[in-house]
Amino acid sequence: MAVPNPQLMSFVNKDQISGPILGIVGKKLNSKNPYFTDGVNVNFAQIIAKNKIFVRTFERGVGFTNACGTGMSATSLALLLTHPEYVEIDKTIDVYNPGGMVRTKLHCENNRYWIELIGNATFTDKIEISEDNLIHANFSNINSQETDEQGAYKKFVDDLPKFNDVKTLK
């Protein structure tokens, strides 16, 4: 599936999502191969419950990632297409990943699917710089203040339920 970058999804059990096979497949399909000549994001998904999945991604050009928005979106649609009993269309799907969670919502209009991806953006710092300094790339005179959003998001992630042995990447 392409969203628009190519994605390969497989629904696996708790042991498989935590095991080495995703890395083996991901590396093989992102090196020279006849199937995906430009590489592909490889996503393993564990079905937790109706409208609830855990996705682990081997991202092309990157390797294992804590989260991949296109991978989580594509895997949500693949869930509908292959396991429709686990999805209610137009309802929020909780998509957990090693870096936390997002939500997706699948829609179908005129026999075409589209996907909403709902997640957070974390502001780590508030920075004040004059327009002149910014234009001239002079960063010696800035006022920077760290926010507490990163810590709050880390607490949110730490408090999420654990479905398998996959760890957050540091």
User: For the chain, which ranges sit under pLDDT 70?
Assistant: none
Query: What pLDDT, on a 0 to 100 scale, did the predictor assign at position 109?
Result: 96
Position 169 scores a pLDDT of 82
The CATH number assigned to the domain holding 55 equals 3.10.310.10
Q: What is the pLDDT of residues 63-108, one digit of tens each?
A: 999 999 999 999 999 999 999 999 999 999 999 999 999 999 999 9
Query: Is 41 contained in some domain?
Result: yes
Residues 115 and 134 in one domain: no
Is 88 domain-assigned?
A: yes
Instruction: Give the pLDDT confidence score for residue 11 in this predicted structure.
Output: 98
Contact 150/122 with Cβ under 8 angstroms? Answer: yes
pLDDT of 170: 72
Rounded to two decimals, the pTM is 0.87
23 and 105 belong to one structural domain: yes
3-class SS shares of the chain: helix, strand, coil, % to 5: 25, 35, 40
Residues 130 and 143 in one domain: yes
3-class DSSP assignment, residue 164? coil
Nearest C-alpha neighbor of 55 from the set 119, 108, 113: 119
For residue 61, give the H/E element and its range. none
Residue 2 belongs to some domain of the structure:
no
pLDDT for res 167: 85
DSSP 96-143: EETTEEEEEEEEEETTEEEEEEE------EEEE--HHHHHTT--SS-E
State residue 139's pLDDT score.
92
Structure letter (DSSP) for residue 48: E
Determine the Cα–Cα distance for residues 87 and 93; give it in Å rounded to an integer. Answer: 8
